[in-house]
């Protein structure tokens, strides 16, 4: 069993401690906005599709030092940052999307977000029901509990806010780990051992379960990392016909309760043009339920990027899939946002 040690670096923060600290928020300068606008005009003039844009197509020499600093903050600092200052009123939604993708090419490499090979996700209420077969939470307006995604860095661009709700929250899983170690160390071996996950993707066996347990917390080369998605853990137990023990249920509940605790989490309402980036190995993120506008053109819309970044974080061999979701099906014919 791995020795249970607290995390003492900057990634182990508490929301109450940093809510008033502007260090996790950065703003683009007027000159940087002009550089992004010029790069966007360049790819538009060439007729490049957004997901075809490469780093070479989107030169950002002025922004380069700050991009490197933001990436360091995500990889070895707090594990997340919020980027403000892109004037939403100046750019169309398609232009903002291209800027978001172009900026992302300087942070990492996009990976597939679902079994249809989607590289740029559109997060909006498609009228689906959370929990239904082949439906993922981001396709609904339901509350999304704290979870990780299967990539190094997840980026979110706000295009439109909901009429009400849709608050974004981030929590340090390193701080959650430390709190469990402090108050309920008996639960940590369960989380280090891990759980079988249900395979949720449409292309997978509907009765499929990961063959081996995937740890919630794992330490490799002295680095602690987290993977936590509660719903497929509980579904996996049901599919295996092996109910979770009382201690296992308690460990999962402790993860959820601590993540949602007001002093642990950090809440933010993303405004149009703002971009949030989170390291999936040291944070989980969540969203509250929302109510949308009646007019389709006003309804809540976020654009999502899953990125692989370098250098890669050292991960245990049993960490589980973290290079995106392999494309196994033809492109999806889902409704597109207005």
SS3 track for the chain: CCCCCCCCCCCCCCHHHHCCCHHHEEECCHHHHHHHHHHHHHHHHCCCCHHHCCCCCCCCCCCHHHHHHHHHHHHHCCCEEEEECCCHHHCCHHHHHHHHHHHHHCCCEECCCCCCCCCCEEECCCCCCCCCCCCCHHHCCCCEEEECCCCCEEEEEEEECCCEECCEEEEEHHHHHHHHHHHCHHHHHHHHHCECCECCCCCCCCCCECCCCECCEEEECCEEEECCCHHHHHHHHHHHCCCCCHHHHHHHHHHHHHHHCCCCEEEECCCCCCEEEEECCCEEEEECCEECCCCHHHCCEEEEEEEECCCCCCCCCCCCCCCCCCCCCCCCCCCCCC
Token pair of 29, please? 């300068």
Q: Cβ contacts of residue 291 below 8 Å, gap of 6+? A: 141, 162, 163, 164, 165
Task: Report which of 81, 260, 75 is spatially closest to residue 176, judged by C-alpha positions.
Answer: 260
- Return the sign of the alpha-carbon dihedral for residues 327, 329, 331, 336: negative
Q: Which pLDDT score, from 0 to 100, does residue 202 have?
A: 42
Splitting the chain (338 residues) into consecutive groups of 10 residues, what average pLDDT does each group show?
87 97 96 98 98 98 96 98 98 98 98 93 69 55 88 98 94 98 98 92 64 96 97 95 97 98 97 98 94 90 97 96 88 57
Q: Which pLDDT score, from 0 to 100, does residue 132 have?
A: 45
Report whether 167 contacts 146 (CB < 8 A): no
**pTM for this structure?**
0.93
Q: Which pLDDT score, from 0 to 100, does residue 299 have?
A: 92
pLDDT tens digits along 215-252: 999 999 999 999 999 999 999 999 999 999 999 999 99
Q: Which pLDDT score, from 0 to 100, does residue 328 have?
A: 81
88 by Cβ neighbours in 10 Å (0-12 / 13-18 / 19+) ranks as middle
Q: Which pLDDT score, from 0 to 100, does residue 338 have?
A: 52
Calculate the alpha carbon distances from 289 to 13, 142, 157 in Å.
25, 5, 18
């Amino acid at each position: 069993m791995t020795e249970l040690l607290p995390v003492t670096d900057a990634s182990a923060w508490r929301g109450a401690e940093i809510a008033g600290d502007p260090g996790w928020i950065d703003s683009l300068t007027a000159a940087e906005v002009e550089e992004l606008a010029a790069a966007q005009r360049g790819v538009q003039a060439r007729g490049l599709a957004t997901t075809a844009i490469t780093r070479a197509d989107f030169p950002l020499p002025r922004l380069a030092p700050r991009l490197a600093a933001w990436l360091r903050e995500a990889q070895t600092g707090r594990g997340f940052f919020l980027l403000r200052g892109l004037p939403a009123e100046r750019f169309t939604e398609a232009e903002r999307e291209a800027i978001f993708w172009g900026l992302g090419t300087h942070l990492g490499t996009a990976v597939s977000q679902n079994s249809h090979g989607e590289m740029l996700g559109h997060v909006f209420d498609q009228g689906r029901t959370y929990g239904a077969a082949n439906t993922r939470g981001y396709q609904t307006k339901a509350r999304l509990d704290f979870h990780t995604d299967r990539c190094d860095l997840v980026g979110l661009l706000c295009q439109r806010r909901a009429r009400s709700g849709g608050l974004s929250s981030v929590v340090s899983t390193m701080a959650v780990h430390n709190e469990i170690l402090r108050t309920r160390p008996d639960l940590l071996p369960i989380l280090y051992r891990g759980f079988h996950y249900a395979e949720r993707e449409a292309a997978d066996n509907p009765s499929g379960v990961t063959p081996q347990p995937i740890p919630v917390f794992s330490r490799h080369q002295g680095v602690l990392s987290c993977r936590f998605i509660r719903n497929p853990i509980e579904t996996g137990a049901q599919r295996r016909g092996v109910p979770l023990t009382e201690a296992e249920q308690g460990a999962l509940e402790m993860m959820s309760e601590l993540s949602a605790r007001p002093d642990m989490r950090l809440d933010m309402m993303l405004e149009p043009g703002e971009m949030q980036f989170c390291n999936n190995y040291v944070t989980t993120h969540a969203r509250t339920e929302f109510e949308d506008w009646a007019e389709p053109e006003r309804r809540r819309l976020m654009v999502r990027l899953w990125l692989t970044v370098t250098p890669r974080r050292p991960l245990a061999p049993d960490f589980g899939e973290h290079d995106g979701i392999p494309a196994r099906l033809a492109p999806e014919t889902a409704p597109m946002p207005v």
